[in-house]
Structures are given as structure tokens and as C-alpha cells.
Structure 1
């Protein structure tokens, strides 16, 4: 099994005819994703050739759903149009909207996540790499060739660290990897993914990657303590970040004693989560918990 995305998922790409949309649609198709259409009102009725497959372009998400039965949308539209694009997907009844776009104003993210939630649409992102269920489907920009199907679930704020842990643990493989994004407001949280992985029979262990800023990891720690029976291994990025400076993601900022990497590490460890000091050490902790003694390749 998997969480949120399977081989049965039918994917629309909002912004498919743009440069990034074209590039990553081709990669999603190569990974086996059932991309059933793109959305661009100005190019409706055309199709785009991707190697041996022609993908139709629809004038709206609703039109695409009616024609194909799509239940997932991947959003590559520019920041100024992201709010409208996500709301359109929610109005059309998409079950999952994966918002890759970065640089979306926070007030827009607040508006569309609330709007989508009221309509039963799950948001992954914004400003995220998306999610992948190896061997089944890939919705977003995560490289599909760095891992294989397996028994680890992964939830991460960081795209780069998602890729690194996927690569370091590639011989064991993953059930699903979810990049939730590092903006101050995201649609799907660590806790949402922890709950889904807990219920997934094919996930044996969960890797949780966090970073400085906010209290999402502390809340996740409390959830693990009270609700998760599977082993969880964590990594927190940003131990050397100076106070008051945003590091990488818009949400990665430490203010006073709040949101520090040390506080997050301590909260997770108090909940029984082993926390690695580096990504490679984190991978080794995973191997230890799974009873695998083979060393991990450094990246």
C-alpha cells in the first residue's frame, strides 16, 4: 500500500504547458504516473507529446475531471495565480492538490488551504517537492530513480534532505515519501503523515525530517508519544542557524528560545524518537532499528 498517492491515482497538471510543468510532467510519466491531462484555458483542445504519449490539455480542472476521472492535481502555476488555481481544483472536487509553486504570499496560502479543507481537498505544500510512492506514482519534482519500493515512510519539510535520505536508504526503499514544504503555512503536516503511516500496513518505520522555526516538530513529538506505535527516526536541520535569520525556507527562522533545533530534538527524543546528528547518522539509526547491519553509503 501507500499513503495519499498510488498507481490508481489519475493526475492533472495545472501549468503543464509551461517550462517547469513540461519538464516534470515528462519525469512523472517516466516514473509510471498516470498523467491524464494538463490545464491551460488558452491551450484547451490541444495535446502535448511526451515521448510516446500524447497528453490532452483542458480548459479547466472540472473539464479535465469530467473527461478523465482525475483525482490529483499538481500545481506548477506562477505564485500570482496559485491561489486561484488551488481554489479551482478544490471547487472541482480534486481529492489531492500538490502545490509545487514557491514564493506564494502567506495570506494566499492561508486562504486556499482553508478553502480546500472546507471542500475535502488535501493540500501538499506549497513550496514543496511533492510526493512519491516508488514503483507506483510520482506527483511533483522528486527524482524517481534514487530509491525503490520498500518499508520506510518519510515526511519532510526539506526537499533536498528528502532526496538525501531516499538515496542513503535506497536499498531498503520507501512506501511513500512526502515533502510537505517549508513555508509558514502548509496544507499537510507532519502529524497528518504520521497518522497515515501508522495506518499503512506496508510502512514499518517512519523518518521525520524537520527544521528550525515554528513548533510543528514539537507537536509531532507529542503526537508520536500518544498515538504512534511504529518506530520513528528524526533529523532536524539548522543547529548552527543564527537567531533571527531566515534559513532557506520562509518558515525556518528562530526567534529567542522558540523554534530552535535543540528544543525540537529534545522534544522528539522525549517522545522516544531517535534523532540523528547528520543525515547519514540518521540513515544509520534507521538501519539499526530495522535490524540491518550493512553500512550506509555517504552522499
Structure 2
């Protein structure tokens, strides 16, 4: 099984007619994802990639039965696109756009409160259920169906860890990129809860970095629930200078709690196995699963 995606996932693309939407939706369709239409205000009634284009998300959902949307909209308009999808009650929304203004994302979080929508992102590489559906911009080719769930703040490290997990003969149930911006939808803890409840996921990999408190939230949750499924973590940024943003907008350590050492200590105290290096994540996961088999 997988989380968030299944064989009945029907996808809209907001911003499908632009270059990025066209390119990545084509790849998603080639992977087997069921894309059913696009949304671009002012272009309703046309077709693109042999799919219908609509002016509004609600109209598109009613016409196609879509239950997911992926957003390729520039930063200045991305929050409005997310809010429109939330108001249209689309169950799953993936926002690829990065560096959406922080105050705009505050408005998005307010719209999410009490809604029926799960938002992944912004600044997410997306969600991938190997052999089922690809909803995002991640590279494919090394992924295989299996029992390891991956939740990550880093797209490039996700690709590396996916390759390691596949090489170890384990495969992945789902990979989820929560996004590298400071304010986003689904959190790492949210994903951990979903993976722990998924009977098709045997173990979890957490890919974190400096900045924010998400890894601490996971550590608190794991310490409280003591799950039987093994969890392996990789936290990067050990040599990043303090108070300097590194790559992602959310990768900024302003206090001791946000640095690598504090996060590693909290996770290890909770019972999470922390890989000492990025090239060892797959091996550590294989060893952890072997211990519980």
C-alpha cells in the first residue's frame, strides 16, 4: 500500500499550460499517473496535452472527478492557487512552487484549518508511490515498490536515499517531500503518523536538516508512542554556519535547538536510529528491519 496516493488518484494541474506544468505533467502521465485536466484562468474550454482546461478548480473537479491537484504557479500567485483548491475541497494538493511569500503561506495555513484538504508543500518535490502514481517533479528510475516510507525536506537527498533503499532490496511504499520553505502544509510528524498507520510500510526514513522544529516534533511523538516499526533518520547541515540560510528558505539555524546536534540527540533519545552519513542510510535501514524480522 501507499499513503496519500492510490490507483484511484485523479489529478488536476493548476498552471498546466506553462512550460513547467507541461513538462512535468507529461512525465507524470508517462509514469502512469491519471491526470484528468488542467486549470488556467482565461483558458477554459481549450485543451492541452489532450486534456481539458478549465478556468476554475471547482469547475474542473466537478467535471473530471479529480481528487488531487498539483500546482505549478509562480510564487506571487501560488497561495491564491492553493486556497482555491482548498475551497474546492480537493482532498490532496501538492504545491511545487518554492519561496512563496511567508505571509501568503500564513493565509494558506488559515484556509487549511478545518478543511478537507491535505496540502503537501509548498517547495515540495511531491509524492511518489512506486508503480502507482507520481505527483511531483522527482527523478524516477531507481525507485521500486517496497516497504520503506520516506519523508524528506530535501529533494536531492530523497533521490539518493531511494537509490540506496532499492539497492538494499527493500523498495519504497511512498516518498513524501514536505517542502523546504519555513511554512508549509503536511509536516514530518503528520507523515510519520500516516506511515505508522499504513500496513504496507514496514519502516520509515526521515531526512531532515537544520532550521525549524519538525524533527523535534517527530522525536516527541516517537518518544510518546514508541512505535514498533523502525525509524531511521538522516540530519544534514552539521557544518552549516549559524544564522545563515543554507539552500532552502527553512534551512536556517537561529538557536541551538535548530542545529544538527540537538536534533540528532532528541531523535536518538526517542529511539530513532540516526545514520552517521548520507551514504549509509540504506544500510542502516536494512539493519534496523533485520532486527525486527
TM-score computed with the length of structure 1 as normaliser: 0.94
Q: Distance in 1 between matches of 2:35 and 2:175?
A: 19
Q: Is the 8 A contact 2:232 2:285 kept in 1?
A: yes
Per the alignment, residue 280 of structure 2 pairs with 281
Q: Distance in 2 between matches of 1:132 and 1:6?
A: 10
Q: Is the 8 A contact 1:9 1:71 kept in 2?
A: yes
Offset from partner CA, 1:30-70 (integer Å, 9 cap, x none): 11110000101222111123xxxx21111111111111110
Per the alignment, residue 110 of structure 1 pairs with 106
User: Superposed, which structure 2 residues align to 1:188-207 within 5 Å?
Assistant: 188-207=186-205
- Deviation of 1:148 (Å): 1.1
Q: Is the 8 A contact 1:132 1:144 kept in 2?
A: no
Offset from partner CA, 1:146-174 (integer Å, 9 cap, x none): 21111000000111111110111124211
Q: Is the 8 A contact 2:98 2:123 kept in 1?
A: yes
Offset from partner CA, 1:83-102 (integer Å, 9 cap, x none): 11111111111001101001
- Deviation of 1:265 (Å): 0.5
User: Which residue of 95, 100, 103 corresponds with 1:99?
Assistant: 95
Q: Is the 8 A contact 1:86 1:116 kept in 2?
A: no
SS of residue in 1 equivalent to 2:113: helix
Q: Is the 8 A contact 2:118 2:186 kept in 1?
A: yes
Per the alignment, residue 295 of structure 1 pairs with none
Q: Distance in 2 between matches of 1:116 and 1:34?
A: 25
Q: Distance in 2 between matches of 1:206 and 1:63?
A: 38
Per the alignment, residue 262 of structure 1 pairs with 261
Q: Distance in 1 between matches of 2:113 and 2:72?
A: 20
Q: Is the 8 A contact 1:9 1:34 kept in 2?
A: yes
SS of residue in 1 equivalent to 2:58: helix
In the alignment, structure 1 residue 271 sits paired with structure 2 residue 270? yes
Per the alignment, residue 76 of structure 1 pairs with 72
Q: Which moved more, 1:249-258 or 1:5-14?
A: 249-258
- Deviation of 1:216 (Å): 1.1
Q: Is the 8 A contact 1:100 1:127 kept in 2?
A: yes
Per the alignment, residue 221 of structure 2 pairs with 223
Per the alignment, residue 297 of structure 1 pairs with none
SS of residue in 1 equivalent to 2:261: helix
In structure 1, stretches of 5+ residues that fail to align are 293-299
Q: Distance in 2 between matches of 1:121 and 1:256?
A: 32
User: Superposed, which structure 2 residues align to 1:1-299 within 5 Å?
Assistant: 1-49=1-49, 54-170=50-166, 171-227=169-225, 228-291=227-290
In structure 2, stretches of 5+ residues that fail to align are none
- Deviation of 1:220 (Å): 0.6
Q: Figure out how many residues of one structure are paired with residues of the other and give that number.
A: 288
User: What is the root-mean-square deviation of aligned Cα atoms in Å?
Assistant: 1.2
Q: Distance in 1 between matches of 2:10 and 2:58?
A: 14
- Deviation of 1:224 (Å): 1.2
Q: Distance in 1 between matches of 2:255 and 2:196?
A: 34
- Deviation of 1:117 (Å): 3.0
Q: Distance in 2 between matches of 1:19 and 1:263?
A: 41
Q: Distance in 1 between matches of 2:60 and 2:10?
A: 10
Q: Distance in 1 between matches of 2:182 and 2:233?
A: 20
